[in-house]
Amino acid sequence: MLACRNGRSASLVLEGRVVDPLEGIDECLRITVEQGVIVRLEPAGASRLVVAPAFVDPHVHLRTPGREDEETLATGTAAAAAGGYCAVLAMPNTDPVVDNASVLASLVERARAEALVPTGFLAAISKGQRGEELTEMGELADAGAAGFTDDGRPVASAGLMRRALQYATVAARPLALHEEEPSLSRDGQMHEGAVSAELGLAGWPAVAESAMVERDLALAAYEQRPLHIMHVSARQSVAAIRAAQERGLAVTAEVTPHHLCLTDDAVRSLDPNTKMNPPLRSEEHRLALVEALRDGTIACIATDHAPHARHEKEAPFEEAPFGVTGLETAFSALHTRLVAPGVLPLATLLERMSAGPARAFGLPLPRVAVGERANLVQLDLDAKWTVSEHAFRSRSVNSWLLGETLRGRVVRTVADGREVHAA
């Protein structure tokens, strides 16, 4: 399901405070990797570096095919490597849309030639993401689809959504949903609230997401099928997901770093790098997301890395496209804004960036254990660095963190037994 270019499996040694919540490890160790496999764990002296299972991003846009000027498999996965990721899942809203096996197969082939980090591809739920007819999910699953989503757009028709839930049984892959009731979010530019009222920007209300989440949870419960809810932004969506989980429904959810760190107050700047979909919401929503991440209702952090051409983002707010990049800053941003101030334990952040998303998509769980392929990230929690557009590996620079000084940095990434990043 994951593909990347061949490389030499490394033999290397990493030392540091090893934090692996899955294995219950939090101690200073020396990890010896031979030919890509962890062969020894030995006690080591104190270190200011942390070593953890590498990250998994279940939601990135690699813009290939169609917008290779914004990102390619090579640049996007180089950005992932720099951000500490050992696996990423790419969205199918490309041009053409990944809605048939031949497009998917050509992407998998390109990933084998270009991708630095193992990359999986989600395929569309509906043909052309038009929300009318299902894609050939069975054949797409056979061709290696990591899941199905119409991300970027909702599945507006409840009838089609129900069919997708039923038919996904054949494909045996997760359905990942972009939740947005289009007749409520129509023309919406930002969260509907006091800030949108003041700025005059058309509102994209929280209820446009939560109403759709509730619809789809009801359908999933009726069909007794699992579901993954993407980039949750609203407090009411969190409540609905939590209630469904308590009723025993297999529903997982993800949240982005920007929704965990920013509120709609940031939009007052009218900086197009504060424009994303779903939009930044108010503090009560942000706090609900942080709480859901802490208690596990939301088990995945997803960057929704959305590269955009510079000239398209350099436009008036209302004309600029939605989305920001995130692969290279996710850990540092969340460490700075949530872990360092004591809001979220480090182990929780590491788990939600690695095992959480891997489990939601049925991917191998990165772990620090003898005999496992090495998927490791080494972090310097004290390193301070300033986000600059010149340092990005991504082909695009539309980051919400430009000019910010962050605390904590990825210094080394080992993905599938190969060293893919060393600062």
Partner 1 sequence: MSELAFADAPPAPPREQRRHLLAVSDLTRADVERILDTAQALARTLDRDVKKLPALRGRTVVHLFYESSTRTLSSFELAAKRLSADTMSLRSSGSSVDKGESLKDTALTLGAYDPDVIVLRHPAIGAPQLVAGVTRAHVVNAGDGKHQHPTQALLDLFTMRAALGRLDGLHVAVVGDVLHSRVARSLVQALALVGARSTLVGPPTLIPRGIEAIGCEVSHEIETIADADVVYALRMQSERMQPGAAFVPSLREYAARWAITPERVRPGQVVMHPGPMNRGVEIDPRVADSDAALVTEQVRSGLVVRMAVLYDLLTVAATPAPVAAGVT
Question: Please, what is the minimum distance in Å from the beta carbon of residue 311 to partner 1?
Answer: 7
Which strands form 376-386's sheet, in the order they lie side by side? 37-43, 25-34, 12-20, 49-53, 376-386, 405-415, 418-422
User: How far apart (Å, rounded) are the C-alpha atoms in residues 156 and 212?
Assistant: 9
Buried b (16+ CB within 10 A) or exposed e, 71-105: bbbbbbbbbbbbbbbbbbbbbbbbeebbbbbebbe
| Contact call for residue 283 and partner 1 (CB under 8 A) | no
CB of 272 to partner 1, least distance (A): 7
Check if 26 is active-site: no
Side-chain-facing half-sphere of 113: CA atoms under 13 Å:
7
- CA-CA distance, 167 to 161, in Å (whole number)? 10
Read off the tokens for 90.
């790419």
Q: Which of 13, 113, 172, 315 binds partner 1 (CB under 8 A)?
A: 315
Position 403 contacts partner 1 (CB under 8 A): no
CA distance 340 to 199: 33
Which residue of 319, 386, 388, 422 would you call a contact of partner 1, by CB under 8 A? 319
- Contacts to partner 1 from residues 68-127, by CB under 8 A: none
192 near partner 1, rule: CB under 8 A: yes
Residue 42 found at the interface with partner 1 (CB under 8 A): no
Instruction: State in angstroms the smallest separation of the CB of 271 from partner 1.
Output: 8
**DSSP labels for 40-89?**
EEEE----SEEEEEPEEEEEE---TTT-TTT--HHHHHHHHHHTTEEEEE
**Which of the stretches 16-24, 135-143, 189-197, 283-291 binds partner 1 when contact is defined by CB under 8 A?**
189-197
The residues in 199-218 that bind partner 1, with binding defined as CB under 8 A, are 199-203, 205
Q: Which residues in the 260-279 window bind partner 1 by CB under 8 A?
A: 269-270, 272
Should residue 188 be labelled a site residue for partner 1 when binding is judged by CB under 8 A?
Answer: no
314 vs 272, 370, 374, 396, CA distance in Å?
7, 49, 41, 12
Q: Which of 20, 216, 304, 416 is catalytic?
A: 304
Q: Which is nearer to partner 1, 166 or 269 (CB)?
A: 269
Contacts of residue 317, defined as CB under 8 A and 6 or more positions apart, other chains included, come to 189, 201, 267, 270, 271, 272, 275
Q: Quick one: 270 or 391, whose CB is closer to partner 1? A: 270
In this chain, which of 64, 77, 196, 263 binds partner 1, going by CB under 8 A?
Answer: 196
Q: How far is the CB of 61 from partner 1 (least distance, A)?
A: 23
Determine which residue in the list 42, 109, 283, 314 makes contact with partner 1, applying CB under 8 A: 314
Q: Contact between 43 and partner 1 (CB under 8 A)?
A: no
**Near partner 1 in 130-149, by CB under 8 A:** none
User: For tokens 């480090």, what's the residue?
Assistant: 346
Per rule CB under 8 A, is residue 318 in the interface with partner 1? yes
**Going by DSSP bridges, is the β-strand pair 119-123/147-148 parallel, antiparallel, or unpaired?**
parallel
Interface with partner 1 (CB under 8 A), residue from 186, 247, 362, 370: 186
Residues classed as catalytic = 304
Binding residues vs partner 1 (CB under 8 A): 186, 189, 192-203, 205, 269-270, 272, 311, 314-320
